[in-house]
Structure 1
Amino acid sequence: MYEEVIVTYWRVRDEGVYPDDYVFPKVLKACTLLSDLEEGVRVHNDMKHLGLRPNVYSSNSLIELYSKCGDVVSARRMFDEMPQRDVLSWNSMIAGYVSNSMYDSALELFNLMRIGSARPDLITWNTVLAAYSQRGLLEEALDILNQIKECGYTMPNHVTWTTLIVGHARKGCYRKALELFKEMLDANVSPDADSLSCVISACKNLHVFRNGREAHGYGIRTCLDHRFYASAGGALVTLYSACGRIADAANVFSMMDGRDIVSWNSMIMGLIQSGFHDSALKLLHDMQLKGLKPDQFTITALLHISDEVSLKVVKEIHAYLIKNEFDLATAVWNALVHIYARFGNVSWAHVIFSSIRKKDVISWNAIIGGYGRNGHGRLALCLFKQMKESGQEPNHVTFTSVLSACSYSGLVYEGKEHFSSMTNEYKFVPSMEQYACIVDLLSRSGRFEEAMDFINKMALEPDGSIWGSLLAACKTHQNVRLAQVAAEQLFRLEPENTGNYVTLSNIYARAGRWDDAVSVRKMMEGRGLIKPHGFSLVEAEIQLPA
């Protein structure tokens, strides 16, 4: 339809007819909706050729055209050349900056607007609120909400609230997102499918299943089914899967668009996370029968299965990728590196790592961690050196992998040196996991006094991982005295962890302190500690979407 508008315009021009001011905005709008900047520039040049100066309506259309096609400089030139501007002019230019992620320019222009005679309308407020939200400036975004409420001539609408809810959820402020949703309902503003989708995702992350189910019910009552499930379906499948309600997840999946790969990916991942691996693989087969080709997210989901099943499955997926010449994101190859290394096949992990064209920090972390976990500490340190020489900056995870590699291989001097480098050269604040690596390294090497001195100087309160590392090393070296110290702390921090009681009891028994061993066993009985029961899963029957 929009192509026809443009074709008609040029046919009329070829016939020698001169368009009026009403025609140009319509033609320029068609170019904008088609994202056809080249054709839009032709029309603009034709206006100049005719000697026509754009009026406010044509100028606004040109600002929108240039902005939405990414030519913000030309859009701002049009804006600056306008002898008169209306609110739409300001809104178009501000929105153009926001859509091109030029948030500072958008906010600067908004401030100029307020200084002048133009009064912001709700579209202006919402656009500025979006700029703050997308930059992660949530306090400023909330301040805009209050200004809308207090301006006296308009009130927040569903776009206002949805922008705020999405902005807080993106920053991980899930509780605040739910509070804003409640405020939205209290203000008698009806949420749309997008805001409900965001709320459902927040409920999943907060593990508040009941609230998520209520949002689902609200969506069914107030939205068209196809619109609601197109937006919120994936979030609902993830929510129900996370709560172990696979039947509900499958029911939602059956309501989703069967032509959308996202629908299939969310259901496949839900099945995998719930342990229904056979059903996930069957669903993958059904997806392919429907003519849908797996994408990188499907492959990532499959790698979750292979990480828990067997090396054979990993190799089958890898062969599938090669056979079908998948041009996958670095993240997928990173996952393959991690999984091959997890199964002890570091040679294949290195082959894949070497073939990654654009290695990122996760690529390096995966291969360094893989070598470290498999006892190749010195090779892991060589790779760490290569990483730094390549210009890739290490992050917290990198140092955790390096310290862990030193621990697995007993590289005491190197471990202490890298811990010192992490804190002094890179200015990283050690995490509990990194402290635990050093405690494990020292205590595995029998340096118990040094390990205790290190623990006493920690900037964090030692947790179970610290004392657990010490207790495990005490068992290896049969250090009864420090085993008692570590166990006492573990009984306080993890009173229901039966493994700690059993380890101390065994240490006492090996030392011939039978009375103490029996005493620990009685302590377990007194606290009602028993081994967890096993359970089995019945594979789920999934009804396919239309």
Structure 2
Amino acid sequence: MGFLVYKFHPFSFNSLQLKTSNVLKFPHVQSTMGIFYRYHFLMCAAFCTAMQAQKTWTPSNPRQSNLLVWRSAITNSAKFDEKNGNIDDTFYKIWEQDSRTLDAMVRSYCINGRHEDALSLFYRSVYCSRRFRLSHQAFASLLKSCAAISAFELGKSFHGYGIKLGYELNQAISKGLMNMYAKCGTLDDCHLLFDQMDRSDPVTWNILLSGYAGSRHHDLEAMDLFYAMHVCEEEPKPNTVTIAIILPVCARSRDLLLGKSIHGYVIKSGFELSTLVGNSLVSMYAKCWSLHDAYVTFRRIAYKDVVSWNAIIAGYAENNLHHDSFELFRQMLAGPNEPNYATIVNVLPVCALLGHNDAYLFGKEIHCYVFRRSELLVDVSVCNALLSFYSRIGRLKEADSIFHRMKSRDLVSWNALIAGYASNGGLQKALELFHELQLREAVEPDSITLISIIPVCAQLRDLQEGQKIHEYVLRHPDLCKDTAVGNALVSFYAKCNDIAAAVRTFLTIPRRDLISWNTMLDAYAECGYAIQHVNLLHQMFKEGIKPDSITILAILRVFANVFCEEKVKEVHGYTVRAALLLNDLELTVGNMIIDAYAKCGNMEYALKIFESLLGKRNVVTGNVIISGYANCQSKENAEIIFKKMSERDLTTWNLMLRVYAENGCPDQAFILLKELQAQGMRPDVVSVMNLLPACAHLASVDLVRQCHGYMLRACLEDVRLNGALLDVYAKCGSINCAYKLFKSCHQKDLVMFTAIIGGYAMHGMGEEALGIFSQMLQLGIKLDHVILTAVLSACSHAGLVDEGLKLFETIDKVHGIKPTMEHYACVVDLLARAGRLIDAYSFVNRIPVEANANIWGTLLGACRIHHEVELGRVVADRLFDIEAGNIGNYVLMSNIYAADARWDGVKEVRTLMKNRDLKKPAGCSWIEVGSRRNIFVAGDFSHPQRVVIFNTLSTLNQQIRETF
């Protein structure tokens, strides 16, 4: 490629004024000239500027003149390089014989932030060839580059290289070395150089102070150094830069008193007019939660710049005054200072917290503003802020569009989009993006990425994918040391029910914080390991970790689930002593305490806590106390709380539906359902499941069909709901509907198989029940004690004695399940129904545990059917001891005597009932005709059609006698 020759008229320089802004005004320069011509056009402008500076001097050597002009052009070109051109290796090739040209190139690279290029140029031109020696200024520039990219080892090599060449004696080099060590965090080396230098220069003090201030671990050293400057007479006094360095230390330590003291020094020293100092004071006051002082200081800044506005906007945002922060942004737009990338990055998170509708509208306005400012649109941090904003408000389509339009993406871009999908239900998409990041990008996932993706694996219960991520963590030592990543892995394993892996991961976390302990305690609570939970809690106290509100919530959940009221009282006492009921989570902890007492059956204490939260209650508080009353079957108290609640959600209505359905008030349950729908709410899966017991109580197939129809119309697909619906169909006598529903379900779980087998058992269809049971075994579904009870019951009702006994033998030997009392009762019923009462009695005596009332009651009922009076008397005596207050046992024994005409026995039982103050309740039955329910109670003659009914009964009785 030939060289371009630039020719200028000797009188044209005064009239030719080429500046960056003028060059940028020519669109054809940007679009059509190409990189090569733009580059030389830029250099032409720089050349002109250099010639103007040199036009009064004419050297005798033309080559010297050309070199001087080109060196000046290179230096001046640094001003143009930032947006348009670059100083590439062309100059290195052309002027490699001149060290001062290379010197200018190194400095130009550093000025424009091209630190890697500056270091590379030094390595090729100076270090490898060893033909040139850089100036002190250029060498100091290289040290700045090392500091900028935290290249400590390289900077240390430069230090040795500088000592070898005698650079260290120069103050600029020494300051550069100090700055490099300070920025790289090697403060001992920085302090050593400081001790060797002239202490009268405030710059050296500021460099060392900035090193200490740059690390939160050296706040005390920074304060001591500032104090030494302030107090010692021989030392230089703090200047505006010193104040700007030390104020962030006050902000980080939240030391408002010290910050105000420094503000006093600022006023005395006359630094109040400094914009740099004013900006630092605003930021300090905001971070110390003194927004009034921050705003007053902001108003007093005489010459506000964009940093001033950024400081006050960020301050209000950090103190959760989002509307005020956004209003300040609006004021900034109306003034002379244009927002920069930092302003946009600060204000977009504020928009995301303004409320969904406002957030989207304001965010769109900011997006349009960024679009009009092309220099902001290409800034990666601004694009990341927009991406994060749209993700946080759930606008994933816009977020995805921005992501794919970005010309350059960094890890923050990927993290923002992954987190957006993860927090808005796009779990599979988040996982796909994570895999794409690993395949396509040169950067590797960091702790932020993993903290977003590990919970995704937990929600998907994808143990295999989570284990792969764990393996990735183990291959990266920095991630292994990250406490947040370890906490996420512990939570993941707990949610995947791998408690052993959760414990192992917890023990490998090097620096366990309170969140680590809370995560592990919550894992034990989630999996129901109460003893391990208590042991871990004791260990936590031994290590000096104090519980917070989150810890208390996990503890209460465990003790409530094991119904340990005394432990709940201890935890309640601790929360009062530790003032944990006085923080932001007061209501959450209070609600949990109410729930714990309610689950333990102590509604008196639960009500006291409920009343103590007067004025602070929310809808959850009311729901918790209603749930407690529902568990205690206290319908009246639940109604009182429900009527007093000013705010109700769907959970509140569902709880009351459950209260009515479970307390024998099916009619009120359906009336409440109509009220729920009148409020504009739509019943969900829980609503329908709570109504189904009411349908079963009424034995109304029509109501069950209505519930089923609503479920289909509302697309309420739920396996548990299908199982409950199937069970109610069977209980209401519609076994065909139950079987049709069973066949139509694609996903069949253990509950559905149990329900259909139980339904067949109820209807005496043993063969069909065993057929379904065989299908279940072929599918490999793991059995539990409930379904085995249902199958045994089916054998009993169908008279399949041999099949039932064979199944009972396999319960422990084949299926590995210890027989329960229900299983023993089914075998007794199986034998008794077949008339083998002696075998049944013998089986009861062989049971390894003491038989309960259910087993003896089953045997007593069989004695009545088969007229076994003597055996019945023996069984009844045992029952009267176990259940002295059960009137049904006495009535059953009285009927056995009466059937055998043993009237003295009847008299004896009735006398016993009288002595024990037991009365037989009136019998009740009902029938549904044309969606109308007719109820009949013994001794009640109030039915309007009683004459027709009694005449029909009399006719039926006569026909029965004639038949037999």
1:535 to 1:182, Cα distance in 2 relative to 1, 3 A: farther
1:336 to 1:5, Cα distance in 2 relative to 1, 3 A: closer
1:287 to 1:18, Cα distance in 2 relative to 1, 3 A: closer
Does 1:363 find its partner at 2:615? no
Query: CA deviation digits over 1:288-321, x for unaligned, max 9?
Result: 1222222222122122322332333434433444
User: Post-superposition shift, 1:200?
Assistant: 0.6
> Which residue of the other structure, out of 440, 449, 459, is the alignment partner of 1:205?
459
Alignment of 1:3-22 (within 5 A): 3=250, 10-11=264-265, 13-16=267-270
Give, in whole Å, the separation in 2 of the partners of 1:136 and 1:36.
Answer: 33
Instruction: Tell me which residue corresponds to 2:679.
Output: 426
Which amino acid counterpart does residue 107 of structure 1 have in structure 2?
Answer: K
Does 1:403 find its partner at 2:657? yes
Q: Does the 8 Å CA contact 1:487/1:504 hold for their aligned counterparts?
A: no
Look up the SS of the partner of 1:463 in the other structure: helix
Does 1:195 find its partner at 2:444? no
RMSD over equivalenced CA pairs, Å: 3.4
Look up the SS of the partner of 2:475 in the other structure: helix
Q: Does the 8 Å CA contact 2:345/2:385 hold for their aligned counterparts?
A: no
Alignment of 1:368-379 (within 5 A): 368-379=626-637
Instruction: Tell me which residue corresponds to 1:176.
Output: 429
Does 1:115 find its partner at 2:369? no
1:187 to 1:386, Cα distance in 2 relative to 1, 3 A: same
Which amino acid counterpart does residue 308 of structure 1 have in structure 2?
Answer: N
1:522 to 1:162, Cα distance in 2 relative to 1, 3 A: closer
User: Post-superposition shift, 1:202?
Assistant: 0.5
Instruction: Tell me which residue corresponds to 1:463.
Output: 722
Query: CA deviation digits over 1:153-201, x for unaligned, max 9?
Result: xx12111111111122122221121122223222333222011111011
1:189 to 1:302, Cα distance in 2 relative to 1, 3 A: same
Give, in whole Å, the separation in 2 of the partners of 1:16 and 1:194.
Answer: 44
Does 1:282 find its partner at 2:535? yes
Give, in whole Å, the separation in 2 of the partners of 1:336 and 1:28.
Answer: 43
User: Post-superposition shift, 1:488?
Assistant: 5.5
Which amino acid counterpart does residue 652 of structure 2 have in structure 1?
Answer: T
Instruction: Tell me which residue corresponds to 1:152.
Output: none
Larger CA deviation: 373-382 vs 5-14: 5-14
Instruction: Tell me which residue corresponds to 1:224.
Output: 478
> Which residue of the other structure, out of 607, 610, 621, is the alignment partner of 1:353?
610
Larger CA deviation: 434-443 vs 321-330: 321-330
> Which residue of the other structure, out of 234, 237, 255, is the alignment partner of 2:487?
234
User: Post-superposition shift, 1:271?
Assistant: 2.2
TM-score (norm 1): 0.81
Give, in whole Å, the separation in 2 of the partners of 1:13 and 1:323.
Answer: 45
1:92 to 1:356, Cα distance in 2 relative to 1, 3 A: same
Q: Structure 2 stretches of 5 or more lacking a match?
A: 1-245, 251-257, 716-720, 785-814, 819-964
Which amino acid counterpart does residue 110 of structure 1 have in structure 2?
Answer: H
Instruction: Tell me which residue corresponds to 1:503.
Output: 758
Does 1:215 find its partner at 2:469? yes
Query: CA deviation digits over 1:353-395, x for unaligned, max 9?
Result: 33334222222222223323433334323322222xxx21x22
Instruction: Tell me which residue corresponds to 1:54.
Output: 304
1:507 to 1:258, Cα distance in 2 relative to 1, 3 A: same
User: Post-superposition shift, 1:110?
Assistant: 3.1
> Which residue of the other structure, out of 269, 274, 282, is the alignment partner of 2:522?
269
Which amino acid counterpart does residue 300 of structure 1 have in structure 2?
Answer: L
Instruction: Tell me which residue corresponds to 2:695.
Output: 442
Q: Does the 8 Å CA contact 1:86/1:118 hold for their aligned counterparts?
A: no
1:350 to 1:24, Cα distance in 2 relative to 1, 3 A: closer
Q: Does the 8 Å CA contact 1:236/1:252 hold for their aligned counterparts?
A: yes
User: Post-superposition shift, 1:251?
Assistant: 3.0
Query: CA deviation digits over 1:29-71, x for unaligned, max 9?
Result: 55566565455445445543xxxx2345555555555555545
Give, in whole Å, the separation in 2 of the partners of 1:45 and 1:354.
Answer: 48
Look up the SS of the partner of 2:680 in the other structure: coil
Larger CA deviation: 118-127 vs 60-69: 60-69
Look up the SS of the partner of 1:224 in the other structure: helix
Query: CA deviation digits over 1:431-481, x for unaligned, max 9?
Result: 23322333321321233444445545653577221122343x44xxxx4xx
Which amino acid counterpart does residue 280 of structure 1 have in structure 2?
Answer: H
Q: Does the 8 Å CA contact 1:380/1:402 hold for their aligned counterparts?
A: yes
User: Post-superposition shift, 1:14?
Assistant: 1.5
Give, in whole Å, the separation in 1 of the partners of 2:363 and 2:392.
Answer: 12
Q: Does the 8 Å CA contact 1:87/1:118 hold for their aligned counterparts?
A: no
Give the length in aligned residue pairs. Answer: 508
Give, in whole Å, the separation in 2 of the partners of 1:68 and 1:531.
Answer: 55
Instruction: Tell me which residue corresponds to 1:521.
Output: 770
Give, in whole Å, the separation in 1 of the partners of 2:492 and 2:539.
Answer: 23
Give, in whole Å, the separation in 2 of the partners of 1:269 and 1:22.
Answer: 48
Which amino acid counterpart does residue 164 of structure 1 have in structure 2?
Answer: L
Which amino acid counterpart does residue 447 of structure 2 have in structure 1?
Answer: A
Instruction: Tell me which residue corresponds to 2:741.
Output: 489
Q: Does the 8 Å CA contact 1:72/1:96 hold for their aligned counterparts?
A: no
Larger CA deviation: 9-18 vs 211-220: 9-18
Does 1:383 find its partner at 2:641? yes
1:194 to 1:518, Cα distance in 2 relative to 1, 3 A: same
Does 1:306 find its partner at 2:559? yes
Q: Does the 8 Å CA contact 1:138/1:168 hold for their aligned counterparts?
A: yes
1:92 to 1:429, Cα distance in 2 relative to 1, 3 A: closer
Structure number with higher relative contact order (C-alpha < 8 Å, ≥ 6 residues apart)? 1
Larger CA deviation: 35-44 vs 126-135: 35-44
1:261 to 1:21, Cα distance in 2 relative to 1, 3 A: closer
Which amino acid counterpart does residue 91 of structure 1 have in structure 2?
Answer: I
Instruction: Tell me which residue corresponds to 1:512.
Output: none
TM-score (norm 2): 0.48
Which amino acid counterpart does residue 191 of structure 1 have in structure 2?
Answer: P
Instruction: Tell me which residue corresponds to 2:164.
Output: none
> Which residue of the other structure, out of 121, 131, 134, is the alignment partner of 2:392?
134
Give, in whole Å, the separation in 1 of the partners of 2:349 and 2:702.
Answer: 64
1:438 to 1:429, Cα distance in 2 relative to 1, 3 A: same
Query: CA deviation digits over 1:271-300, x for unaligned, max 9?
Result: 232343212111101111222222222122
Q: Does the 8 Å CA contact 2:457/2:465 hold for their aligned counterparts?
A: yes
Give, in whole Å, the separation in 1 of the partners of 2:660 and 2:345.
Answer: 57
Q: Does the 8 Å CA contact 1:504/1:517 hold for their aligned counterparts?
A: no
Larger CA deviation: 459-468 vs 132-141: 459-468
1:241 to 1:451, Cα distance in 2 relative to 1, 3 A: closer
Look up the SS of the partner of 2:681 in the other structure: coil
Q: Does the 8 Å CA contact 2:451/2:488 hold for their aligned counterparts?
A: yes
Give, in whole Å, the separation in 1 of the partners of 2:478 and 2:508.
Answer: 12
Q: Does the 8 Å CA contact 2:495/2:523 hold for their aligned counterparts?
A: yes
Instruction: Tell me which residue corresponds to 1:540.
Output: none
1:523 to 1:179, Cα distance in 2 relative to 1, 3 A: closer
Which amino acid counterpart does residue 608 of structure 2 have in structure 1?
Answer: V
Q: Does the 8 Å CA contact 1:98/1:127 hold for their aligned counterparts?
A: no
Which amino acid counterpart does residue 427 of structure 2 have in structure 1?
Answer: Y
Give, in whole Å, the separation in 2 of the partners of 1:365 and 1:254.
Answer: 38
1:65 to 1:410, Cα distance in 2 relative to 1, 3 A: closer
Which amino acid counterpart does residue 495 of structure 2 have in structure 1?
Answer: A
Larger CA deviation: 368-377 vs 92-101: 92-101
Q: Structure 1 stretches of 5 or more lacking a match?
A: 150-154, 510-515, 537-546
Give, in whole Å, the separation in 2 of the partners of 1:145 and 1:8.
Answer: 45
Q: Does the 8 Å CA contact 1:373/1:404 hold for their aligned counterparts?
A: no
Q: Does the 8 Å CA contact 1:63/1:76 hold for their aligned counterparts?
A: yes
Query: CA deviation digits over 1:108-146, x for unaligned, max 9?
Result: 133124235654211211122222122121111112212
